[in-house]
Amino acid sequence: MIEQIFKELRVVERRLSNLERNESGGGGGGDDHTQYLLADGSRAVSGIVGLNYDPGSDISVDIATIVQTGIDPRFWYDQPTDSFEMNKSLTLPGGSLKLGSHVISENTEENDDGFEIAGTFHVHRFPGGIAANICLHEGTEPPVGISGDAHRLWVNTSHELMWQDHDGTSSAIFVGTPAGDHDPDQIVSLGSLSDLTITISSLIYTDSAGKKRFEADAVQTKLRGPGSTPIYMDFGSNSFEINDGVDRFMSNSSKSVMASSNDTWWSACYDDRYEVMDDIRARIQANATDTRLVSPDGNDVLWIADNDLTFHDGIRDRIVADAAGTRLYSTGDNASYIACNDVAIYLNDGARARVQVDDNDTYLFSPGGTKWVNVDDDGTKISGDTDITGITTVIADDVSLHLKAKTAGKKSVIGWFNSVGTRTAWIGHGASADEDFYIRNEFSGANIEFQTIGGTVVIVGLPTSVAGLPTGGLWNSGGDLRVA
């Protein structure tokens, strides 16, 4: 208290001394500066030394005390240079430092001894291009801001960069220290386990063996497994791929393909078809109209459509099954085939049916189609001239051989021919209008013989009168055979 009174008395003493010197028009004999009282009531000091306060002992001195002032008091340095020097620190107890329109002041939170800036804090590089930086020393967790909206970045003693939220919960956001051989755009894990490289256009994760396990850039995203030949997945802008040294699965805007491990067999899905391929050609193909099965050499093809099955041997159709029926073709140029439909079964030689089996008949046709054998429920019918080589036996009851005229009004006979085709005898009715029955031997001078073995020839129904008989007609005259 006494020291403060003496301090104030010395201030009053100095003010009175300066006032007297100013009124007398100048300074003392040994002073190197002069004080002037200006018209506006302010004081000016001239000289090259400036103000020099010597309290006479090592005590606190008020260099300048402003008792009363107007708005915005100033400390004005009227020189072209942009700075002035102080050889001691500047202490602003309870106040703030204003730089332009921005204020740096003591933090007003009760549990923090830092300072606060109302605005954006910029850290520029040093002269000569040295990079700007913010240095965070390791330590224990800082206190929680009492304002409820404070967030902090700090470094713990395990070299981890931490983030503390407004509730005081801290989480590690960076682990470890970057190795000296890494780029500054890398986030590196603890020790030498792996690193994550982040640039403006890419993100790359590399494991401890130097293998890129994850890559993401503007073109693709690639995920790899471990190992010398790792399996990887590759995502492009319009494609997807799985590869284990061979593209095992691939999908893009036109198709999706799955391959065997030896890259020999593929299955592919397109917008309009599905295919199974070997390393040369498609072996199975399915589309909206048909399904195809192809032989290894590509020649034989089996087509299956909604109402059609076709097997092609590379030259011609060998099997066709459609709405018209089912046909099995030969390999020859005549294209003979067997056909089955809802009506009949056919054996066709390429020109006509040679065998036909239907609900009512079974036909066997000659090559020219003019002769045939028909077997139905009534029996067997032969159409056209027929040669039988060998013995023919007709087994039947009653009428064993039935000869029927083909055309109304016509007659039918049985003829005998020699080996060169000349008729030698015949039996039957004569001309169409002739109702007589003939047995004729056409060898000149030859006879017609009726022979029995121990029996006789009996002619039944002979007329008993010659009246009305033609010349040569036989009649019974009282038990005698006579010729008219």
- Residues 268, 273: Cα–Cα separation, whole Å: 8
Q: How confident is the model at residue 388 (pLDDT cuts 50, 70, 90)?
A: confident
Contact 95, 103 (CB under 8 A): no
Q: So what's the pLDDT on residue 60? A: 72
- Residues 22, 25: Cα–Cα separation, whole Å: 5
Position 67, amino acid:
V
Residues linked to residue 357 through DSSP beta bridges, in sequence order: 345, 362
Mean pLDDT computed over 306-327: 92
- For residue 258, give the nearest of 245, 275, 283, 273 by alpha carbon: 275
Mean pLDDT computed over 15-31: 49
Residues linked to residue 325 through DSSP beta bridges, in sequence order: 322
Q: How confident is the model at residue 185 (pLDDT cuts 50, 70, 90)?
A: low
Q: How many angstroms separate the Cα of 433 from the Cα of each of 18, 107, 442? A: 184, 148, 22
Q: So what's the pLDDT on residue 365? A: 93
Looking at residue 300, the DSSP 8-state letter turns out to be: -
- Asked if pLDDT for residue 306 goes beyond 90, the answer is yes
Q: How confident is the model at residue 338 (pLDDT cuts 50, 70, 90)?
A: very high
Q: How many angstroms separate the Cα of 82 from the Cα of each of 77, 85, 127, 129? A: 9, 11, 17, 22
Neighbouring C-beta atoms of residue 266, cutoff 10 Å = 18
**For residue range 79-116, what is the model confidence (pLDDT) as tens digits?**
777 777 777 777 776 667 776 667 777 666 555 556 67
Q: So what's the pLDDT on residue 119? A: 74
Q: So what's the pLDDT on residue 301? A: 95
From 53-57, 126-130, 150-154, 226-230, the region with the lowest mean pLDDT? 53-57
Contact 450, 439 (CB under 8 A): no
**C-alpha 66: how far from its chain's center?**
83
The arrangement of strands across the sheet holding 437-441 comes to 413-417, 423-429, 437-441
**For residue range 262-279, what is the model confidence (pLDDT) as tens digits?**
888 989 999 999 999 998
Q: What's the pTM value of the predicted model, to 2 decimals?
A: 0.48
Higher pLDDT, 178 or 347: 347
Q: How many angstroms separate the Cα of 265 from the Cα of each of 123, 272, 277, 278, 287? A: 62, 20, 6, 5, 19
Position 243, amino acid:
N
- Residues 432, 74: Cα–Cα separation, whole Å: 159
| Domain definitions of the chain by residue range | 1-85, 411-449, 455-484
Q: So what's the pLDDT on residue 446? A: 93
Q: So what's the pLDDT on residue 318? A: 92
**For residue range 422-474, what is the model confidence (pLDDT) as tens digits?**
999 999 887 777 788 889 999 999 999 989 999 988 888 899 998 888 888 88
Mean pLDDT computed over 174-203: 61
Considering 6-10, 76-80, 262-266, the range whose residues carry the highest mean pLDDT is 262-266
Mean pLDDT computed over 153-178: 79
- For residue 110, give the nearest of 156, 159, 150, 141 by alpha carbon: 150
Mean pLDDT score across all residues of the chain: 80
Residue 427, token pair as written in the block = 């039996």
- Asked if pLDDT for residue 189 goes beyond 90, the answer is no
Mean pLDDT computed over 144-154: 81
Mean pLDDT computed over 178-199: 58
Contact 286, 272 (CB under 8 A): no
Strands 301-305 and 161-164: unpaired
CA angle 267, 271, 274 (to 5 degrees): 30
- Residues 251, 240: Cα–Cα separation, whole Å: 5
Mean pLDDT computed over 409-434: 87
